[in-house]
Amino acid sequence: MRSTGYSAALLLSGLLLTPLEGGMGQEAPWSQCMLPAADTARRAERRSMYVAMDDGTRLATDVFLPTGLQPDERLPTVLVATRYWRAVDGQPPSPFQHLLAQYGYAVVQVDVRGTGASFGAWRYPWSPQEVADLGAMVRWIGAQPWSDGTVGTIGTSYLGNTAQLAAATGGPMLKAVIPRFMDFDAWTDLVAPGGVVNTFLLNTWGELIHALDLNQPQGPPPSTVRRVDEDRDGALLAAAVREHQANPRLDEATRSLTFRDDSIPAWGTGIGAVDTWRWRRPIELSKIPIFGWASWFDAGTANGVLHRWINWSNPQVVVIGAWSHGARHHASPFLPADAEPSPPGAGQDRAVMCWFDVHVRGNRNSLRDRKIYYYTIGEERWKSTSVWPVRGTTRERWFLASGSGLTPQRPRPGIDQYAVDFEATTGTTNRWFTQVGGGDVIYPDRAEAGRRLLTYTSAPLPRDLEVTGHPEVSLRLATTAADGHFFVYLEDVAPDGQVTYVTEGMLRGIHRRLSADSPPYSQLVPFRTYLRKDAMPLVPGEVAELRFALFPTSVLFRKGHRIRVALAGADKDTFGRLPADGAVAWTIHHGGPEGSYLDLPVVPRR
């Protein structure tokens, strides 16, 4: 059955570092690749050591080599760089590490600087020093007697970012990267989507990594980080952990975050320093092929992978599924709660092995063309495209109307009053909670939750309607506060009244100004800078337009179903309350030439 909540133990078990095992569905186009036979008799054997970086800082490193390695045998290597402990004390090699050994790969897994059993201090995620260390690790691998001089990287979440960023400094030995569920633009896709600060993520993740850096037991069962082989009495680990005490507390450092250009004194920089898109030039110059994974239901990872697709010239294959963070669970809300991931874990393994087989080993199979594979919920079907938006996409406008209506015809002018219910929530198994631990994404029937929201629902659809891309909303409203959070949910209403979550978007009122500046990368959504200079507080009682995108999706609204838009001023379990106290009321304007509306990216049915 689907799990709920999250567990730090999942981060430590290796499950989120690599794909999992299971069956394989034939609907995935990448399943057609031909792989050489695996040597199932081989297993992964581990050695642990310290590897010195260019400045002398020593990083704890595990090397996994296949059993029976001959003196003249040279192997390609898969590098994984983590800040969640490369292994816990007593942990055997993982099934995926054994699988790589069976296909003739070495695996190198390293604690990034200032974490796990490594020395040094960790200032903030993916700092220039951390990225430089990735290049140093690739060069170290190339100098080992068992290495054939070729390297690929893989990782999920934080490790997905290190897998991607290795392309900036890895040099010619790095041949391919597989960043899974990574962060392209941390502000818009995770930390503060729409400028709404993700207090759950910053606080929970900050507390977790602080405990990990101090080697506090995690579990169950209670476990600590694995020492390197030479550290028989634990003195080296203890010395490394003392250096970690200089690591800033992320939850404390980001507590007053409001604007993208806010300084974070403990970091010596701002939140923008963690954005992967800033490394575009060296990564493009590397020409390294990228196999990117994301989900419609995992924070904004799908938003990020699509923006990377349209902005970077590297050879890319993208896969966007209906998964939890890390793809351990199927997340389509139209399927039963215990549905198996599509493809199951073994299919994910196969796709990874095919990518490395092509780009690290130089063999040929089906994973060569620049393409996006994406999953349509409601239809529960994989599709592919070589362009984005999907060819033939049109924008279809639906207007908010009196009587809680949603209509494709412009209605007469009207208003609705809404008293913000600050108890509204999407729960604790949503697209944001899965980011910490990879727990399942479960949105129960939203009919009851909708009683706290302001909703607008269409008539039953006369035909199937496929929506693939970024929906957008324009809300014309007045509010009694100078700032606030505005959430919009796109939902499906079945003939029996069941309400199914599809996607969401949000905006903080102070960030409502759209920018005429050139964006730092090409955008698929209305552009705003989130900089202090562009702050635009709401004027209580004055009508304002809030125009913003929802996170991308691919969904089939079935004939006879209805489309619903739900508005909220809070999601209490994930995002902080704004304003901090007091009652807030909205007046929503609809109909006429300046009414509120929803734009849907509609794809023609094949």
- 471: tokens are 């929906």
Q: Do 168 and 306 fall into the same domain?
A: yes
Query: What residues are labeled active site?
Result: 157, 298, 325
Q: Per the domain annotation, does 211 fall within a domain?
A: yes
Q: What is the pLDDT of residue 364?
A: 73
**Residue after which a domain boundary falls, among 363, 385, 407:** 385
Do residues 379 and 250 both lie within one domain? yes
Say whether both 442 and 574 belong to one domain. Answer: yes
In a domain, 1, yes or no: no
Q: What share of the chain is helix, strand, coil (3-state, %, to 5)?
A: 25, 30, 50
Kindly give, in sequence order, each residue whose CB lies less than 8 Å from that of residue 26, ignoring residues fewer than 6 positions away: none
407 and 341 within one domain: no
CA dihedral sign, ordered 32, 36, 39, 44 = negative
Q: Are residues 345 and 433 in the same domain?
A: no
Taking residues 62-75, what's their average pLDDT?
97
Q: pLDDT, tens digit, for every residue of 548-573? A: 999 999 999 999 999 999 999 999 99
Final residue in a domain of this structure, among 329, 355, 385: 385
- CATH number for 455: 2.60.120.260
Global pTM value: 0.95
Q: Which residues pair with 487 in a beta bridge?
A: 506, 568
Residues 163, 77 share a domain = yes
Separation in Å, CA 6 to CA 250, 429, 506, 562: 19, 9, 24, 33
DSSP 452: G
Contact (CB, 8 A) for 532 and 261: yes
Give residue 417's pLDDT.
98
* 3-state secondary structure string across 118-129: CCCCCCCCCCHH
d(CA 74, CA 60): 23
In whole numbers, what is the pLDDT of the chain averaged over residues?
Answer: 93
- Would you say residue 3 lies in a domain? no
Helix residue ranges, H only, 32-117: 95-102
CA 65 vs CA 91, 93, 98: distances in Å: 16, 11, 9
The answer to whether residue 33 scores a pLDDT higher than 70 is yes
- Reported as a single tens digit per residue, the pLDDT across 346-362 is 889 989 999 999 999 98
> Are residue 245 and residue 325 in the same domain, yes or no?
yes
pLDDT band at 12 (very low <50, low <70, confident <90, very high): very low
Same domain, 279 and 409: no
Total number of domains in the chain = 2
Domain end among 368, 385, 402: 385
- Let me know whether 328 and 453 are in one domain: no
Whether residue 533 is contained in a domain is answered as yes
Beta-strand relationship, 472-479 and 263-264: unpaired
pLDDT for res 337: 86
**Domain span holding position 355:** 8-385
Q: Are residues 378 and 404 in the same domain?
A: no
Pair 292, 418 in one domain:
no
Q: Assign residue 291 the CATH number of its domain.
A: 3.40.50.1820
Say if residue 208 is exposed, middle or buried (CB neighbours under 10 Å; 0-12, 13-18, 19+).
Answer: buried
User: Does 2 reside within a domain?
Assistant: no
319 with 422, same domain?
A: no
